[in-house]
Amino acid sequence: MLSLFRCINRSAFFWLAMMVLFVSMESIALYFQYQLDYGPCVLCVHIRAWVLALLMTSILGFFLRTSHIGLVISNFTALAFSVGMLERAYTTLGIERGFVDGSCTLNSGFPSWLALDKWMPTLFEPWEACGYTPELLFGITMAEGLITISAGLSLAMLVMLISSIKKA
């Protein structure tokens, strides 16, 4: 079974599909922000940053997929970023549903050496306080969709990392 995942992991299609997923996620977020007027909260902006990091990792993975060490590095990095996104998605859902106590301000919280909200305010400037995410489709909120995607992605990248570490 690991040999199947190893084959998928080394395919250009896998890494291109990952790029399409992350570009689509960013595009959907911007559509909700600028067309449907649902401004992002700090947690949403953090998730966008994780998605951008995953996009860059996917590009790296595409080019390093034929190198054993490059594939391990790409898979490990994608797993770490996926888990980061999962944590933010969990917090977003928790605040929306009330099982995580807290709120957020309009301060993005990015460090000065990574001031994404200043460099790309169109994408990373928070507009609203946390607490509510819009409905996507079929009654599924954005927070529910994000936690599902990030959990699935974390699991997939764990399997891909294991398949890239194990020798045939």
Domains (range + CATH), the chain: 2-32+39-165 (1.20.1550.10)
Percent of the chain with pLDDT over 70: 95
pLDDT category at 158 given cuts 50, 70, 90 is: very high
pTM, to two decimals: 0.87
What is the SS3 string spanning 49-71? HHHHHHHHHHHHHHHHCCCHHHH
- In a 13 Å sphere around the CA of 163, the CA atoms on its Cβ side amount to 20
Q: What is the pLDDT of residues 114-146, one digit of tens each?
A: 877 788 888 888 878 777 777 788 888 888 899
pLDDT at 163 over 90: no
Taking all residues of the chain, what is their mean pLDDT, rounded to a whole number? Answer: 87
| The residue count for the chain | 168
